[in-house]
Amino acid sequence: MKEAQHIEWKETWRDELLRWICGFANAEGGVLHIGRNDQGVVVGVPNAARLLEEIPNKVRDIRYRPGDLWVEFAFPAQYLAVIPANLSEGEWGEKWGASLTAKRRRIVEAMRRNTRVTIPELAAELGLGTSAIESHLKAMRVAGCVRRIGPAKGGRWEVVS
């Protein structure tokens, strides 16, 4: 795993990292890894238990709904993953954590109802432009969450569990 648009590594927690969390929450989602250096090597998180409590409270204080924040401590790797997204537990699995937003969940639900749903149909259903849908689909394909089977016209979507 490398740093990318939806993945950021930080060695230690600083309150200014709340901007990253808000940025991910207001864009396409993402994961802030605390306890990894710039090469992605796990360096550990001092006071991880305290941070598990403090980060959601700090996020709440800047008016982001705390129910939409998932803070996970990775054992035995010893790093924190902060994921600002509206996740439902269980069903989505590990790989969805970094890329799932409420809009993407709605896209997946539409694909599950109709595997042959088109981009214009998704745009109309979600109230987004077709370019926004294409951007979400691209990120979801890169993350390995969905794939297109067959040609652009006449093919179908597959949700990868």
* pLDDT class of 96 with cuts at 50, 70, 90: very low
pLDDT in tens, 101-121: 678 888 988 999 999 999 999
**Residue 90 reports pLDDT greater than 50:** no
Report which secondary-structure segment, H or E, holds 25: helix 18-26
For all residues of the chain together, what is the average pLDDT?
75
pLDDT in tens, 41-64: 888 888 787 888 788 777 766 655
Q: What is the pLDDT of residue 119?
A: 93
Q: What is the pLDDT of residue 150?
A: 92
94-159 is a CATH 3.30.1300.10 domain:
no
Report the C-alpha gap between 113 and 107 in whole angstroms: 10
Domain range annotation of the chain? 7-84, 94-159
Q: What is the pLDDT of residue 71?
A: 58
Question: Domain 7-84 maps to which CATH number in 3.90.1310.10, 2.40.160.10, 1.10.1200.10, 3.30.950.30?
Answer: 3.30.950.30
